[in-house]
Chains A and B, each alone.
Chain A
Amino acid sequence: MLVGRIALAVIFLAAAYAKLKPQTGMPWSVASVKTSLAMFAMQVDSYRMLSVSGVRWVSHLLPPFELFLGLWLLSGIALPFSSLVTTLLIGGFFSVMVRTYALGLEVSCGCFGPGEQLGAKTLIRDGSLLALSLAVTIGAFLIQRSRDRAEISVGAPASQRAD
């Protein structure tokens, strides 16, 4: 559980960093991050699923959200919910990738920044991530449920506890 949660957190932090980091030869600045996001927008656009404004929204919101999600997972706060959000997000990515691959569109994956082609390898990797995330989510909910039960039985009056 702990290893899976930390692994997912690191993966999301790495994915956010890869999308936000300045391109070769550019220093860290607001302008260079904007350029990186504009480059990520081209990768999002190549999937051919969104309108121009949709591409702009997704490309500007997704990397900061991945950063937030990575930090949330790392903190362990409300783990059942952070892992559920992670599973839904990876599930969304995975279905988009499967659709694109099935349509025969040859595009840059955009998963960990530019330069990676979408293919069988990236599908296997994202499928494995989805399985890991699902396992962490189920585990987190099971642990939460057993904790809730323990709290109820500890907090209940003696007459109810006997039940």
Chain B
Amino acid sequence: MGNPNAPIVMEVFSDYMCPQCRNFYMNSLVYMIQDYVSAGKVYLVHRDFPLPIAQHKYNWDAARWGTAAARIGKFEEVDRALYDNEPAWEADGDIQKVVAAVLTPAEMKRVQKQVAPCLTQTPANLRPPAPAGQSCSLDAFINQDMALGKAVPVQATPTYVITSKGNRLPAGSGFVSWPIMKQFIDSLLSQ
């Protein structure tokens, strides 16, 4: 999200079903997107890191919807919708409904086409029909993010890695409130 040439690059490794990731997104990252990403000061990179936790039943499917949306240039909208509505789709597994609410029917068709062969956890009655003979290509992107995360190494989500003017800083993890994070970003920008 934002300008790839921004002085600060922030990569956030997260799991759509992790409560701290949702909290971090809704109470910090939203403000960062609004004030710093839009202004070209920060380039925000979402990295999927679905955790192998039994309760996180739909985390891979959510990551697939997000990745498919990114491939048609609609990541920001879908990312926000996934976090905003997480309690709803966590309860019934209906991620499709949440995504459809923020895309046009044509965009939704393109996303569904990519996602349909991949869905494993979504209840069968809520899955879009998979086009015949098409295999899941989205998992390669998610696995790529996970490999990057393991190299950090990501031990918990959310984990953020900040690169300022080409210098990669040590990774941090857990929720950080927006005023404290803003203070750090302002400090980096003033260097």
CB-nearest residue of chain A to B171: A115
Smallest CB separation, A99 vs chain B (Å): 14
Contact indicator A23/B164 (Cβ below 8 Å): yes
Interface residues of B (CB under 8 A from A): 20, 155-157, 164-177, 179-181, 183-184, 187-188, 190-191
Measured CA separation A67–B190 after assembly (Å): 26
Note all chain B residues with C-beta closer than 8 A to A55: 177, 180
Measured CA separation A105–B188 after assembly (Å): 27
Task: Report the contact-size class of chain A (Cβ under 8 Å from the partner).
Answer: 20 to 34
| Complex A-B: 16 CB contacts under 8 Å | A23-B169, A25-B164, A26-B191, A32-B191, A35-B187, A35-B188, A35-B191, A39-B184, A42-B181, A43-B172, A45-B177, A55-B177, A55-B180, A105-B174, A106-B157, A115-B171
Contact with B along A50-75 (1 / 0, CB 8 A): 00100110000000000000000000
Give the interface centre of B155, B157, B176, B181 by most chain A CB atoms within 10 Å: B176
Q: Does A14 reach chain B (CB closer than 8 Å)? A: no
CB-nearest residue of chain B to A105: B174
Given A35-B188, A41-B183, A52-B180; A114-B169 close (CB under 8 Å): yes
Measured CA separation A55–B182 after assembly (Å): 13
Contact indicator A24/B181 (Cβ below 8 Å): no
Measured CA separation A106–B181 after assembly (Å): 18
Measured CA separation A34–B183 after assembly (Å): 10
Contact indicator B167/A24 (Cβ below 8 Å): yes
Contact indicator B180/A41 (Cβ below 8 Å): yes
Note all chain A residues with C-beta closer than 8 A to B174: 46, 105-108
Note all chain A residues with C-beta closer than 8 A to B180: 38, 41-42, 45, 52, 55-56
Smallest CB separation, B23 vs chain A (Å): 10
Measured CA separation A56–B180 after assembly (Å): 8
Note all chain A residues with C-beta closer than 8 A to B184: 35, 38-39, 41-42
Contact indicator B20/A106 (Cβ below 8 Å): yes
New A-B pairs, 15, CB < 8 Å, besides A26-B191, A43-B172, A45-B175 = A24-B167, A25-B164, A25-B165, A38-B183, A41-B180, A42-B176, A45-B176, A46-B172, A46-B173, A56-B183, A106-B157, A114-B169, A114-B170, A117-B155, A117-B156
